[in-house]
Amino acid sequence: MSNLTSPTPKVGFVSLGCPKALVDSEQILTQLRAEGYDTAKSYDGADLVIVNTCGFIDAAVQESLDAIGEALNENGKVIVTGCLGAKKDGDGDDIIQKVHPKVLAVTGPHALGEVMDAVHLHLPKPHEPFIDLVPAQGVKLTPRHYAYLKISEGCNHRCSFCIIPSMRGDLVSRPIADVMLEAENLFKAGVKELLVISQDTSAYGVDVKFRTGFWNGAPLKTHMTQLVGALGELAKQYGAWVRLHYVYPYPHVDQIIPMMNGGHVVPYLDVPLQHAHPDVLKRMKRPANGEKNIERIRGWRELCPDITIRSTFIAGFPGETEEEFQYLLDFLEEAQIDRLGCFAYSPVEGATANELANQLPEEVREERRGRVMQLQERISAERLQRKVGKTLRVLVDAVDRTGGATGRSAADAPEIDGVVHIKAPYEPHLKLKVGEFYDVTVTAADAHDLWAKA
């Protein structure tokens, strides 16, 4: 099992240059934070340093070269980005590589994807399924038309299998104006889908008593419903999507569902339920109770019949009886969750669940996980089959050599859900482009993916 006491990788950051460079720095820092990297305040506390440079005038070039030199001396592992990264000298040579050949990677400005690729290469972050908010595969940032927006840190719950609160502390919500500004900057930079993440999106603002902030001169409360409303408006302005992750099924989530009918807050909720049996949920110390969850899901589907519900579950939690496990299977049959991930329970160092009686053998945990996934395969296949013949809006993620493409509908979050395979259009002038939306007609489905024509 994973070693959860391994320290979080730390990145040092030196930001030079104009306000545009500053926005680049903010976006890189946001992405690092969203992926679980920490930032270090000193060179020696960092595992790697990123220097965002300026190349505008000679003095700025010198300042940037000095900053790179200092980072190399003090730390040694340096990635350079920014305007100087794109600059050549009189001989046509890359200035930075010539002066500082030891830098690990050099990119030009507005190169979030390339910078993150270099970070992943030189300072990979181990994936912790119970902790990480972003998928194990990492976030592929090229092409760059979707981005994660982290709205808070930490968590006020104390689920017995989780050590996040002991690592990251209680919930700290980011000021709503900062979140909105970051969202606007991302949309301006071409992001077409914003994925809202946190440990508990529904709890946004609890720690600051839903303090009123300001956005565009108008008051806006630090509250999930107001945030989602404002993000939906902003997304509409930029012709983009907002997708909500880690939403706990509290009553106020019901107010979010009608906002999904406009199409900019996509009808998709990622609700980590973890189990259905009330006694298991009690042992897990989960904030929500199983019976209410089924009513809530039913209510959401009444308000928004097209809603896609994603959830994660743990099979083989300590003390889980065959009867409790069967209860989970019955719940899944009834709830008809569209997208589902299931982990076999695995003890996390430092978690209180380790002290619970009746820890189950690995074979039992794995076998139960297998049964959940087998059931889900059938449910998912049936639900996707109903989409055949329908027209869906998709966002294209990649185009292949034949002119066909892979995209995602509102029902598919990147990296964790299925995709829509789109056949190359017959008309040669109709070229599918990455980062663009298209309406497609679904022609076939399996248990995970759809096939469609544009």
Distance between CA 122 and CA 375 in Å, rounded?
A: 40
Q: Are 34 and 150 in contact (CB under 8 A)?
A: yes
- Tell me the closest approach of the beta carbon of residue 407 to ligand SF4, in angstroms: 30
Q: What crossing angle do the helices spanning 176-188 and 224-237 adopt, rounded to 10°?
A: 20
CB of 310 to ligand SF4, least distance (A): 15
Q: Residue 118: CA atoms inside 13 Å, Cβ hemisphere, count?
A: 21
| 33 versus 157: smaller Cβ distance to ligand SF4 | 157
> Among residues 140 and 157, whose Cβ is nearest to ligand SF4?
157
For ligand SF4, the closer of residues 4 and 256 by Cβ is 4
Least Å distance, CB 287 to ligand SF4, is 6
Cβ neighbours, 10 Å, residue 427: 8
Euclidean distance between CA atoms 54 and 65, whole angstroms: 9
DSSP 196-238: EE-S-GGGTTGGGTT-EEEETTEEEESSHHHHHHHHHHHHHHT
Beta strand residue intervals within 318-427, DSSP E: 339-344, 391-399, 405-408, 420-423
Residue 5 is encoded by which pair of tokens? 């006491």
Measured between alpha carbons, how far is 332 from 294 in angstroms, rounded to an integer? 10
Q: How far is the CB of 342 from ligand SF4 (least distance, A)?
A: 15
Using alpha carbons, select from 64, 52, 177 the residue that is nearest to residue 112. Answer: 52
Query: What backbone phi and psi angles, to 5 degrees, belong to 421?
Result: -90, 120
Q: Which is nearer to ligand SF4, 64 or 198 (CB)?
A: 198
Q: How far is the CB of 58 from ligand SF4 (least distance, A)?
A: 50
> 129 vs 165, which CB is nearer to ligand SF4?
165
Q: Tell me how far, at minimum, the Cβ of 34 lies from ligand SF4, in Å.
A: 15
Residue 162 C-beta: closest distance to ligand SF4, Å = 3
Q: Of the two residues 103 and 273, which places its CB atom closer to ligand SF4 in the complex?
A: 273
Q: How far apart are CA 278 and CA 327, in angstroms?
A: 10
| Shortest CB 346 distance to ligand SF4, Å | 14
For residue 244, give the DSSP letter: E
Q: Which is nearer to ligand SF4, 275 or 365 (CB)?
A: 275
Choose between 164 and 266: whose C-beta lies nearer to ligand SF4.
164
The single-letter code of the amino acid at 212 is: T
CB of 414 to ligand SF4, least distance (A): 21
Cα gap 390→412, rounded to integer Å: 16
Which residue number, 202 or 409, has a Cβ lying nearer to ligand SF4? 202
Burial class (CB in 10 A: 0-12, 13-18, 19+), 166: exposed
Cis peptide before 143 (omega within 30 of 0): yes
Q: Which residues bind ligand SF4 (CB under 6 A)?
A: 155, 157-159, 162, 164-165, 199-200
Residue with tokens 């296949």: 381
